[in-house]
Structure 1
Amino acid sequence: MSIELRHSHLPIAERSVHVVEAGDAQGRSFLFLHGWPESWRTWEAVMGVAGDDARLIAVDLPGIGESAGAVTGGSKSRLAEVVHELVQRLNLTDVTLVGHDVGGMAAYAYLRQYDDVAGVVIMNTVIPGVAPWNEMLANPYIWHFGFHAVPALPETLVQGHQVEYFSYFYDALSVDAGRITPHLRTAHAAAYASDTALTAGFDFYRAFAQDARDNTAFAKNGPIGTPLLYLRGEGEGGDIATYARGFRDAGIDNLVTALVPDAGHFTQEEAPAHVWKLISDFATSLPARR
């Protein structure tokens, strides 16, 4: 489906955030945060199937793509601060915040720090400091967590090879890697073309230990009532019930989960129509905030 995309660059906290909007500016709003190694374009297919009666907003995370000014160190709490300022700047009073992968980690940090969104959707990720985080760190198949955290080395080895390196993950973690098209792969690689963008992306991993400490501290502040939808691809692996227990043990009281069939880690690109239906149905069930 062809959609009209409206691009802008907003000054947020001494940064410039690239914002892409579609749909009805007066409709129920959805704010999408991408993960690594992707850009706002990971949401383009979802925005295309959503129709034009919702306000759809995707951004490049700070330091990635057309967003200038990375969050130093990659802290998800700091990312959440930038997103919060964006929510205020756009006057989003009834927004569903959706985060995939690293964007999901930032959405969780937002959920723990702020109470001004209608609901939160976290997709295809484990949250630092929240079970099964320790089991994930011990999994040898998650080797890239450690590699990406090494200072300077991943930038040196990946620079000039972004398409090839990123494609390893698309191919390994998707049910049908062909759904992540050459156009998308090229666009995502271009978002990390500069040395500073590569560092911004790898810093997301370098911050995991701090993120885990932050999230452990947040859990001590008591339960959270903001509704949370947690999604995983059916072909991604991992027991979704284990993730649900981790969220509830961390104080997330209002939680629902769902598996996306015929999809792996990159669900929004592998199964955009199904992902949108799950997100839309969840948002429709939420009480409006005014």
Structure 2
Amino acid sequence: MSIALRHSDVAVGEYSLHVVEAGDPRGRPYLFLHGWPQSWRAWKAVMAVAAPHARALAVDLPGVGESTGPATGGSKHRLAAIVHDLISALDLDDLTLVGHDAGGMIAYACLRRYADIARVVIMNTVIPGVAPWAEVLRNPYIWHFGLHAIPDLPETLVRDRQAEYFDYFYSALSVDPAKITPEARATYVGAYGTDSALTAGFDFYRAFAEDAQDNAASSGVPVDTPVLYLRGEGEGGDLAAYASGFRDAGVKDLTTALIPGVGHFAQEESPTAVWRLISDFSRR
């Protein structure tokens, strides 16, 4: 599906954030945050489906792709502050903030810190410090959490081998890896093509202990913002355990759903189904 995309670089404090937009500039806004090892490009197919009905925006997170600025250390609260400044700079009212993977962790930090975001969607991730976080950390199949947290080593191992390394995760975590196209894969390699971008990506993992402490500080404090939690059916994990964790942490208005026939990279594996769930949630 062809889509008219508008690219811009938005100054936010010390950062220049690369923002890609589609749809009606006067429409209801949806801001999409990517995870690792991806960039804004992960949302292109969803934006194509959304564009006739909404204002769809996606951003390269700081240090990744075409977004530049000082290193953040991967702290989700620090990244949430930058995202919130972007929301203010773009004057995004009645916003649905959507985060996948590490972007979902950032969306959760925004949920906790800023009451002016109308609704939040969190996809295919576990939140540091929020159940079932401890169970996920014990899972031997999540070995990369530990590797990526080691200073310098993953950069040394992955430098100049981004394509091969990233391809492993697309194959291991997708129901249909072919849905992550060669063009998309090449874009992601480019987005993490520099040493600083590799570090920005691995810093998402290095900050997990800090993130867990930050999230624990607000655990149990009620939050009224509506939240939709989505998980790919093929990714595994007990959806009820994630729902219980969010509710115990204080999320009062929670909706959950499994996305059928997809794995971790749901927005590329089944963009129409993902958009339908997000759109229905935002319009209820």
TM-score (norm 1): 0.97
Alignment of 1:23-38 (within 5 A): 23-38=23-38
CA contact 2:72–2:79 (8 Å) conserved in 1? no
Q: Relative to 1, partners in 2 of residues 1:168 and 1:260: Cα closer, same or farther, differing over 3 Å?
A: same
- Partner SS for 2:235: coil
1:284 aligned residue: 283
Distance 1:72 1:118 in 2: 26
CA contact 1:71–1:78 (8 Å) conserved in 2? no
1:263 aligned residue: 262
Opposite residue 76 of structure 2, the aligned amino acid is K
How big is the shift at 1:72? 2.2
Distance 2:4 2:62 in 1: 24
Distance 1:177 1:117 in 2: 33
Distance 2:62 2:52 in 1: 27
How big is the shift at 1:93? 1.0
- Partner SS for 1:57: strand
Establish whether residue 188 from structure 1 lines up as the match of residue 192 from structure 2.
Answer: no
- Partner SS for 2:246: helix
Alignment of 1:245-264 (within 5 A): 245-264=244-263
Q: Deviations over 1:210-269 (max 9, x none)?
A: 00000000125x200100000000000001000000000000000000000010000000
2:65 aligned residue: 65
1:2 aligned residue: 2
CA contact 1:71–1:79 (8 Å) conserved in 2? no
Distance 2:95 2:171 in 1: 33
Alignment of 1:43-192 (within 5 A): 43-192=43-192
CA contact 1:98–1:107 (8 Å) conserved in 2? yes
How big is the shift at 1:2? 1.2
CA contact 1:234–1:261 (8 Å) conserved in 2? yes
How big is the shift at 1:98? 0.1
Distance 1:204 1:238 in 2: 21
2:238 aligned residue: 239
Q: Deviations over 1:96-117 (max 9, x none)?
A: 0000000000000000000111
How big is the shift at 1:71? 4.2
CA contact 2:61–2:67 (8 Å) conserved in 1? yes
1:205 aligned residue: 205
Distance 1:215 1:72 in 2: 18
Opposite residue 235 of structure 1, the aligned amino acid is G
CA contact 2:30–2:57 (8 Å) conserved in 1? yes
Structure 1: which 5+ runs fail to align? 286-290
Distance 1:277 1:25 in 2: 20
TM-score (norm 2): 0.99
Opposite residue 205 of structure 2, the aligned amino acid is Y
CA contact 2:24–2:51 (8 Å) conserved in 1? no
CA contact 1:64–1:70 (8 Å) conserved in 2? no
Distance 1:263 1:233 in 2: 5
CA contact 1:34–1:42 (8 Å) conserved in 2? yes
- Partner SS for 2:108: helix
- Partner SS for 1:16: strand
How big is the shift at 1:51? 3.4
- Partner SS for 1:127: coil
How big is the shift at 1:70? 4.8
Aligned length: 284
Q: Deviations over 1:5-30 (max 9, x none)?
A: 00000111201000000000111100
Distance 2:78 2:218 in 1: 14
How big is the shift at 1:73? 1.1
Deviation >4 Å, runs of 4+ = none
1:288 aligned residue: none
Distance 1:245 1:264 in 2: 21
